[in-house]
Chain A
Amino acid sequence: MSAKSILEADGKAILNYHLTRAPVIKPTPLPPSKTHNPPPKLASLYFPAGADVKGVLDQAEATYPWLLAPGAKFVAKPDQLIKRRGKSGLLALNKTWPEARAWVEARAGKPQKVETVEGILRHFLVEPFVPHSQDTEYYININSVREGDWILFTHEGGVDVGDVDEKAEKLLIPVDLSEYPSNEEIASTLLKKVPKGVHNVLVDFISRLYAVYVDCQFTYLEINPLVVIPNADQTSAEVHFLDLAAKLDQTAEFECGAKWAIARSAQALGLPVAPSKEGKTHIDAGPPMEFPAPFGRELSPEEAKIAEMDAKTGASLKLTILNPNGRVWTLVAGGGASVVYADAIASAGFADQLANYGEYSGAPTEQQTYDYATTVLNLLSRAPMHPDGKVLFIGGGIANFTNVASTFKGVIRALEQAAPVLKEHNVQIWVRRAGPNYQEGLRNIKAAGQKLGLNMHVYGPDMHVSGIVPLALKGATTDIPEFSA
């Protein structure tokens, strides 16, 4: 998948490292800085399930000795892709370390509801508090569209930035970087409402920021507030990105992986280069980029298992549990078909009963299909019984090259095992699939269904790809006959 959100700590580390290193597209108003930024002070605290919270915090004091500096003030916040943390009371500002520590301790590993989503807080970020005046707060956002990259800028940043789409000054940087705007153009479009005195400093920063955006293949970058405190003669400035949200293009890993890694290496972060715990050798000069799951979407063991299988094979295996107590379960082949099935189930009025979204494709082996199907059927059997029974869709489009009969072998094996439970839970099974050798596949599954005494309906390519959904859920009728050998 391509655009993926990253941790705030990782985003900040990348900016800090590459701001002075990424090649600028055109010369900026200020001379290039002769020194690189010092390592950023980012205490990234992770509390895995069952972790000793105190222990993690004690360890943090050893890893980040600046936390214990006398009189220092800090900002603490969860770092889990949560939007509008300030408004949800998830931002501790201007705290001493003991205060910040207590604040984190009170929340780490605990469930938290943010707007409509509930999740467990596991990842925190503690940074030095930067005192600054309101008039040094800016907002900047870079995002990519087909024609190029938009830079949005307002001189009034902060929590209450409001509707930036309306308020911000905008500048489109075309895809062809030879058409990159001049310093004057940048200043005259984006900095209209900013005092002239800081123009050079800001143009320099924006150009460098954009250079990092391009060089490290970001697809989204928002800094709010961005604090720029110019020095006395305004030839350079102290820049702080207080709050940052970013997405990287995961598919660019082969081009940028090394850059993402080195910025997050122990050395770049100013950490003692301890021999790593697992003694793992990374392929780059730092840890590989991690793309965390959205807040509240912690993977269940089953989802994690499928994700691991997905990563280890050439086939594509996806599973997201939407409602573990749902009545409607899907076992659908193909990325497009799986969405169509979910659509059909939702539009039949069963959105809240839809238990899972998932798909298997890319010619999985019989064993992989079996493992995948068994996982789904296990989850199904754990959901409470329902007076109206449950529905299982074994669906899929017209495969291109997958031998339907051989993937269905894995599904049939899983059905054979689960047959008693399927009957106990009164599960209706609806099958639709086509593609190479589908005749044998459908014949086999139909025979298995009859042998096992399952309530099963089987259709081939005459049936619309998701046509079985209204039949099963809305009692619709069809004149298309069921598949018969």
Chain B
Amino acid sequence: MAGLELLSDEGYRVDGRRAGELRKVRARMGVFAQADGSAYIEQGNTKALAVVYGPHEMRGSRSKALHDRALVNCQYSMATFSTGERKRRPHGDRKSSEMTLHLKQTFEAAILTQLYPRSQIDIYVQILQADGGNYCACVNAATLATIDAGIPMRDYVCASSAGFIEDTPLADLNYVEEAAGGPQVALALLPKSDQIALLEMNSRLHEDHLEQVMEAASKACKDVYAVLDQVVRDHVHEVTTLLGE
């Protein structure tokens, strides 16, 4: 598919979006009853499921406990059926371990961990279908799950990717655009304070363009924020009416 035109002269991307448009986001909170918090999100064809346990006391080795804050434990995995060709190993490979670390960093920055010294918060995320922007979908799902679990956070963490193709910054890349191998930025943002929880970039991008790409990414994050906020409000509304009965 070397010849595929990622951005046409008319300004359409392969899937018919324009440069700054997000894929359709659908999300649900509280999908499982056993876990403390859970959420499911679809960003286009990328589907992710997040489950949160905690805060609870340390499991496993107690020596890992931190005396002044909670330990955030993350695990990222991809379902074997999530990609075009069946995956052998759902987690534990190099790529997943890296993603796990990134998630951990992101949520250590967002959760008010100092409220729960010597305890542990577990975040498990699984990609059910991968179509680009896996990290972003995971962060967004985990945010919703954390909120569902009632763990205090500084702000929502919203993540979105942005790429740079044909001298134009594109928001929220899908798999085809990612696979083209152009520069890609993944940004996790605390939208109210405009603070960056995590920023990652692949491939080479000229310094001059970085600002534009960052702008596109943070705009996309804020758009995601609007959607997530609505989902949370709807969920709360639903739960309260149920309780009220």
A and B are interacting partners:
no
Interface residues of B (CB under 8 A from A): none
